[in-house]
Structure 1
């Protein structure tokens, strides 16, 4: 093989590497991905719910405690009403999103996620690669970044430098 064919092969290899490859059909990989996403989702839900409860209890502790246990004035506890509302809202959200996503899937006529990604990618505009970068990419700090952004957006205004 001569150097031209090696160069052509390397260029073709780079083109193939930059194209999106179909994901592996490995069951262990899918299981690990599902476990990871489920754990991140569950943890974020717990943190969000706990933070909200703590903020509500901090705001009005007496009223918060009254809502936990049903009384004569309030025959249904506030937590029971909240759980019922959360359940109904979750049902509506999952059903609505599921119908929306399923209809988009069927309208596009795709069979798997790889085909869906390729079809959607053909609709959307390509993002040009910035290689080599056409502007600054390293900044000393947040102030330097903000000065650069303000200079880029309004070149007529001069920023006073403090040295």
Structure 2
């Protein structure tokens, strides 16, 4: 026969369960962020590598020549100049978007996407859609085909 459970023992197990659930949610969120970051990073590296490969294939001589200044000294090569410009452009785009997002979140007082959705729905006017007024893709296609026949 098992001993009856007292209230303290059951409340501890429920609290432990809540803590474990919170930790699991945080870990899943972290995994999701890491996955999306790695996909975005891989896409960025792939796109950049593809662009550099196309430029190098199109004009290999110009890719490696050095520019000369007015006094004849060697300046930066076009590829390193392009890499530097791409690096600064990426930095400014990412940091600008991050600062803009952080600013909007601070102004609205939200901490996650769900709060942002609720806050934005309360601020923005709601668009009413009437399904009877909407035009289906088939109707648009039929109209275009009828116009082509005439």
TM range (shorter): 0.5 to 0.7
3-state SS in 1 of match to 2:85: helix
Contact 1:57 1:64 (8 Å CA) reproduced: yes
Can you give the 5+ residue segments of structure 1 that lack an aligned partner in the other structure?
1-23, 137-144
**Structure 1 vs Structure 2 CA RMSD:** 3.5
Distance in structure 2 (CA, Å) of the matches to 1:81 and 1:63 = 13
Paired residues for 1:1-80 under 5 Å: 26-66=25-65, 74-80=74-80
Aligned ranges 1:144-159 → 2 under 5 Å: 149-152=140-143, 154=144, 157-158=146-147
How many corresponding residue pairs?
121
**Which structure has greater helix proportion?**
2
Q: 1:124 to 1:64 in 2, by over 3 A?
A: farther
For 2:142 and 2:77, the matched residues in 1 are separated by 57
Structure with more relative contact order (C-alpha pairs < 8 Å, separation 6 or more): 1
Q: 1:90, CA displacement in angstroms?
A: 2.5
Residue 125 (structure 1) aligns with: 126
